[in-house]
Amino acid sequence: MNAQTPDNPSPSLSSGSPLDPFDIIGSSLAVQQAWLREPERLAASLQGLALEAHRVHDHFARSSLGIPSEPAIPAVIHDQRFQDPAWIDHPGFTYLKEIYLLYGRWLEDTIYTTEGIEPTRRRRAAFWVRQWLDAIAPTNFFWTNPEALRRAIASHGYSILWGLQHWLRDASAGEVVRMVEPDAFQLGRDLATTPGRVVLRNELLELIQYAPSTDRVRAMPIVLVPPWINKYYIMDLSPANSLVRYLIDRGFTVFATSWKNPGPESRAMTLEDYLLRGVRPALEAARAIGGVPRVHAAGYCLGGTALAMLLAWFAAGTDDDRAANPGAHWSALTTLVDFSDPGEIGAFLSESSFEFLKQRMDRAGYLDGANMANAFRLLRPNNLIWHYVIHSYLYGEELPPSDVLFWNCDTTRMPAAMHEFYLRELYLNNRLVQGNLDIGGRRLDLGAITQPLYAVGAEQDHIAPWQQTFRLCGLIGGPARYVLATSGHILGIINPPVTPPKRRYWVGDVTGPCDAAAWRESTEKASGSWWEDWVGWLRERCGPLEPPPPLGNSQYPPLEAAPGRYVLEK
């Protein structure tokens, strides 16, 4: 991660304290000290705050007397916390809401306009203060949540009892707050149900080949490479949301990698192992079973980053290596290769936080997936934490089944050596895009990748910002087509066509350097799912229709039925 230096940096508390590895206290104190050095600006800001507070008090007084007046501090229209009519109609709740919004917005705006500290620390301070502000929202407490009070009265207090039972359940399980019941779905019965066979298994992954559903299929297989920080069945959720089933039903032969959930015995597994002993054998097996010289490879999130590195690795070899490249063309879904701006997850990334995580991984041999899952929840706390606190604890509601949330909670571990290299060399040092990353004795150059690319970003993605995923198209040496889907990191990708259409997307060719904002401004927005556009792109490149290949062959015999055994490991 490339830290920018302000024109007049001021001395501040070190962000490398072992007692504060994520720079929570240090960044906040740095902001405070910067403002104390500018008393005139601080006084002007406080004066503006006092004037706004007077407007809130005036609105409260008028509304209490029944005198109509405009809201002093209206909530954002999409803020789900304040949709209840009581937050507008009841003077007390209106006052509480406006005081909370006033001071919260002032505090965030003040942090973002702080001068004299590094921008990375300023953003980090804003991130952690926002966590606190979201936590103390009046909607998160029983006596200041009008709907919670209403339900308690209507249920004669039972909603309080149910909520307490839910809290005790989560506390006994050691969970932050549960989003979905752990037995809401069963793999192979409800999720990951597309028929297929495991045709390859090694110490890193299983490769699943799916059974065809059509009499004829495209000659070139598709190999799906999901990230190893999650289970593979994000690609094969319930039948209505299954990308695997969608492709099969449209005449494609589909393979998918299912990564092993590593334990301490895998502590020495490296990123090089994942590429050359994981992704590469999977592509070669699909090529051999399909009886074709090359395949289409599609990577999701880190899976796309792995494909970019592997294709660059082949390109950096000899003529024979380049000829042996099993990838004819590829797709990269919400994929980062330039980590200079990793989005909100950058709040967790610094040398001190890296050393903290490294020590934990050295002791355990891995990073527990629950740690990653909790960090990702902090990126969207109102949706992924406090929503469930309100509905489960304050309202006493049962958790609704959700295939996406079930998958999201089904975490995996990351081997210490691999994750240490990944965090340091990609996120912190950003060496891949700089062209000075070595894998397997070869220097990787993204510009040497000439295979056509279909890239997808998501407009509200907080893990892989779409402007950064867009950059991939200009960094490679081949032609590219880019899709910007509405929604976020998961729902922007798991986006099956429905009638009437729920979502929209921008799509167009992007070959060579191009400005992301200018591209979106000049590109017409289409209605529906980008899956349909992708299938059209694939049909042009995956060859003619022919009888489907068998499930496995003599070199890669079928081992067991999908979803296999690795996905079941806890």
* Cβ-based burial of 186 (10 A; exposed 0-12, middle 13-18, buried ≥19): exposed
Q: Looking at residue 4, what is its pLDDT?
A: 38
Q: Which tens digit of pLDDT belongs to each residue from 102-112? A: 999 999 999 99
Find the catalytic residue in 301, 409, 473, 542. Answer: 301
Q: Rounded CA gap, 540 and 555, in Å?
A: 30
Q: Looking at residue 16, what is its pLDDT?
A: 57
Q: Rounded CA gap, 385 and 388, in Å?
A: 6
Nearest to 256 by CA among 219, 285, 288, 216: 285
Helix (H, G, I), strand (E, B) or coil at 460: coil
Q: Looking at residue 34, what is its pLDDT?
A: 96
Structure tokens, 20: 């504060």
Distance of CA 516 to the CA centre of its chain: 20
Quick check: 7 pLDDT over 90?
Answer: no
Mean pLDDT score, 192-213: 98
Q: Rounded CA gap, 508 and 491, in Å?
A: 21
Mean pLDDT score, 526-536: 96
**Per mean pLDDT, which range of 191-200, 324-333, 347-356, 544-553 is the poorest?**
347-356
Quick check: 307 pLDDT over 60?
Answer: yes
Helix (H, G, I), strand (E, B) or coil at 328: strand
Q: Looking at residue 370, what is its pLDDT?
A: 87
The residues pairing with 224 across neighbouring beta strands, listed in sequence order, are 256, 298
In whole angstroms, how large is the CA radius of gyration of the chain? 26
Q: Rounded CA gap, 564 and 404, in Å?
A: 20
First to last CA, the chain: 32
Band (pLDDT 50/70/90 cuts) for residue 513 is confident
Distance of CA 414 to the CA centre of its chain: 16
Residue 270 DSSP code: -
Q: Rounded CA gap, 222 and 330, in Å?
A: 9
Exposure on the CB side of residue 210, measured as CA atoms within 13 A: 32
Structure tokens, 25: 């206290």
Band (pLDDT 50/70/90 cuts) for residue 38 is very high
Backbone angles phi, psi at 565, to 5 degrees: -105, -30
Band (pLDDT 50/70/90 cuts) for residue 15 is low
| Strand 295-300 relative to strand 222-225, pairing | parallel
Q: How many CB atoms lie within 10 A of CB 47?
A: 10
Residues whose CB falls within 8 Å of the CB of residue 332, separated by 6 or more in sequence, listed in order:
298, 299, 304, 307, 308, 453, 454, 455, 456, 469, 472
Q: Any idea what the Cα angle at residue 124 is, between residues 10 and 171, rounded to 5°? A: 140
**Cβ atoms of 308 and 433 closer than 8 Å:** no
Q: Is 514 a catalytic residue?
A: no
Nearest to 463 by CA among 497, 492, 435: 492
Q: Which tens digit of pLDDT belongs to each residue from 58-92? A: 999 999 999 988 899 999 988 999 999 999 999 99
Sheet holding 525-527, edge to edge: 525-527, 504-509, 480-485, 453-458, 327-333, 295-300, 222-225, 254-259, 205-210, 196-201, 560-561
Mean pLDDT score, 487-505: 93
DSSP run (H or E) holding 208: strand 205-210
Q: Rounded CA gap, 323 and 315, in Å?
A: 9
Q: Looking at residue 377, what is its pLDDT?
A: 92
Q: Which tens digit of pLDDT belongs to each residue from 438-472? A: 999 999 999 999 999 999 999 999 999 999 999 99
Backbone angles phi, psi at 122, to 5 degrees: -65, -45
**Cβ atoms of 506 and 518 closer than 8 Å:** no
Residues whose CB falls within 8 Å of the CB of residue 51, separated by 6 or more in sequence, listed in order:
none
Mean pLDDT score, 297-301: 98
Q: What angle do helix axes 39-64 and 24-36 make, rounded to 10 degrees?
A: 100
Q: Rounded CA gap, 450 and 397, in Å?
A: 53
Q: Looking at residue 174, what is its pLDDT?
A: 87
Quick check: 17 pLDDT over 80?
Answer: no
The residues pairing with 447 across neighbouring beta strands, listed in sequence order, are none
**Helix-strand-coil split of the chain, %, nearest 5:** 50, 15, 40
Structure tokens, 455: 């890239």
Q: Rounded CA gap, 258 and 220, in Å?
A: 21
Q: Rounded CA gap, 509 and 80, in Å?
A: 36
Mean pLDDT of the chain: 94
Q: Which tens digit of pLDDT belongs to each residue from 318-376? A: 999 899 999 999 999 999 999 999 888 888 989 999 999 999 999 999 999 888 888 98
- Specify the higher pLDDT residue, 492 or 2: 492
